[in-house]
Structure 1
Amino acid sequence: MTERAYYEPGTNGVERLPTEMNMFHTSPLLMRSAHWHAQVEVNYIVRGWAHYRMSGHQVRFNAGDMALFWGGLPHCLDDASDDLIYAGGHLPLVHFFRLRLPQNVQSRLMQGATLITQATDAADPYNFARWNDYARSGDPMKAGMAVDELLLRIERVRFEPYALLPGPEAVVKAVDGLDHHSSPIVVRICDFIADNFREEIDSTDIALAADIHPKYAMNVFKKSTGMTLNDYVNLMRLSYAQALLMQDDANVLQVAMDSGFGSLSAFNKSFRKIAGMSPSDFRRDLRCRPSVPMARALSSAPMN
């Protein structure tokens, strides 16, 4: 029996800059340990099944399922069928909070729940393949259309049955009523942080950019995301730092400074809290891992 290959972040480059919309359509590798990224992850299972260990629960996605979960919490694809093909993307929060989803869905996802729906149709495999193709085409107009169409597809979730796991709810039924749009204030906050997280910013700077009082900015962001402003800024910096550490010539001190941390000690403390290891150990672990078959690791072609 051939030993299964495992996900190697330095080879696959999944954790990219936290403000980028990253799409994929691939046969994924299993993961040796959990990872994290400052985007909401969208998975559509084209074929086979996938099992994830999430922060606080486990879940299995089967062919035809579509799922969303907050990638800022550690998660791990620890088992899958040999024929697994999945598609989707890593959705920056600035897009996520523009989605017209029920308020409770967005807040539950940010607090660690997983949304899963089986209300997909025959068009989804073709659409996800096309969106991935467009996103990687190098054509800005095609890439923009891919993002717009994916966002509209996600918004349709509100009209069909879906489950939020874990939780006592079995299946949430779509109901008529007023839309509860996420606050545009959160969008302004996310926009400002995305543009400035590598600089020395605090809640006062963020609130000023959103044209609101600092205390109100902290309250509305916490209510919408389950995180403090400082937690989110740190997560953006750590995701950016993680991408920099994958480069062969990465210097830990320089990465800390370039990512917006004021000191190496603050960087080490924050990185260890999320990753469970120091930045130096993370970089060393990447370099010590054996290489994996590139053909599979970089597979992203749409299915025919």
Structure 2
Amino acid sequence: MATPRSRGPELEHDVGRTPSLGYEPAGSYGSVRYLEHGFPNPLVRWHYHEEYELHLIVATRGKVFVGDYIGQFEPGHLVLTGPRLPHNWISTDVPEPGVALRDMVLQFGDAPLRQAAALIPELAEALPLLERARHGVEFFGLSEAARERFGRVRAAHGLQRLAEFATLLDLLVRCNDYRLLSTVQLQSFDDDAALAHISGIVDYLIEHYSESFSMAELAQRSGMTESSFSRNFRRATGNSYTDFVNHLRINKACQLLMETDRYITNVCYDVGFNNVANFNRRFLQIKGMTPKEFRRQAEARFGSAA
């Protein structure tokens, strides 16, 4: 059996955010910090931090890694990442001297927005967006407007910067053309009691994903009939019960494939599948590649060749 080893992301500390890397100096900004950098740059690594980050790629193409998502990016790529969500962008078409400006980034904290939203009703419109950001959100059709707003935020200070940021945030809140990049989330619907029951079941599934359980058992646990459970589960998650469990287990498998050297066969059983062929089939269906190919491509999140 292969020996597990840590392949986790690096935690970014504020002490290392120096102007030489492209950050605004400490004390020169308020609740929204602007960052820009080129490629290559020491900031390009598999990492996470406590803040939200809104990334706009303005030059080069390559591979993007957000949580367990692996995809392609090009100029105009606009993504919001949430707190503690690992991410990295690796450019693959860079000219010999590199590029001076690849990323335009805004960083902002969670607590200030949530505290303000409790007092200012209009800001509460942004709360669903913050929840989506836990999974990473890619926006489409906003690149030009976003770049203009990034420039306005960069040039502004104090209350004017906050106003420019609020305008950009409003664009994101009202954008309906987006996709979540990593894992699945609950969706609100009008039956609060049922949603609470399903939320409890989802928490249970996340904690016990590797165990065997039937929908009938979970329906009984939630105090619903099977048909009611099935209907409410789909409304809350956007997936059937079976699809949700498969997605959850595959996402857990992705984490093991990225962060350990465990054999793929062992990973299959670790996450609750009892048939390797079924595991491989579900993995290909959900991730668009085999577990072996996913592990190979995931190596590139550190900047090595894929």
Report the TM-score when normalising by structure 2. 0.47
Higher relative contact order (CA 8 A, sep 6+): 1
Structure with larger Rg: 2
Judging by fraction of residues, say which structure has more helix.
2
